[in-house]
Structure 1
């Protein structure tokens, strides 16, 4: 989920994550000529600078779309449907879930959030790359349907720096910061589950490394084949069947 609502570790533990099985006709997506876009999943503990890095990446790379989650919570005054979230009623949410439209979903404080499989497929089919700001559990569930999704874990340079950043941003009470730091330890332990790790010590360098991951992914043979299938066929290049 990409909810910016502050949540402490206790709230996170209270979430009810629901794995969404793909519809019977849906198959795990591979990079074929039908889906030339790439899927990136960015994961980080609170305070590591994930959102700042992602926003900077999106500003400089118009070919990437940030995945917009469905939610049943009411929009805030500064939020617009289709920009921060796709707002819907609980009945509509339940219907979409029954139809297999979601990759994964979670309940947070009585409201539901979900990542749209349909929206991601549409973007990738049209050659657009998609980026998910998501937690590590959600990322592992997404990969069950998008096998070639690229996982990127953002790390702080140290726990001391992470604590300093949490305190400086002034959003949380001291006891909440302590819980966030405790949660960060368990989240960081899952960094090896992801292909790439970016250490956000100096922002310009971290952003450059994130951009390098995106560029390298686009140059993978399978990705190039998906975007330039006709050229590959003309040159007699065929990818092995998975």
Structure 2
């Protein structure tokens, strides 16, 4: 336990971001043996289309929500579909549904970023309620933090209470955006790609030059 806490403190200081709200809560929770809760970091992702219970109860023959099927039809293919993604990203809460390759077929995921306009953000991710064949056990939210303070590399840290795993990952060249980050961070697709990178890390997928560690 204590080696895990020390390692996470090192991660917190890696890019000059010691005492960030997320890692501060995670570290304090580990040191005391307590789990991080949704109330401490943020609420479960909820897109604008989930605000109405009626919308969520309308299912297509596929088992997915009609809202998701409509989004796929508009996008032209499953992987390009999103729900609730703003046309222009501004600082604040950014929450949307996006699709990831799940092997047999794309799967809908929800994510909420909290971004102050700088070079880091906190996030909360879970499977989307727009998906089919869900059960209470399908939901396993992950809370995390992302930083790209040097403008090029991406540093992620996260806690996954339901799976009893915490971890971090450093991805050289993985920072969202490009050389002109002020412009690219306002583009919706930049955040979709960041969300997909987060999913890749959570799944343990191979990424170029990625380093990291998990703690159980």
State whether TM-score is above 0.5: no
Q: Which has the higher helix share?
A: 1
Q: Which has the higher strand share?
A: 2
TM range (shorter): under 0.3
Normalising to structure 2: TM-score of the pair?
Answer: 0.25
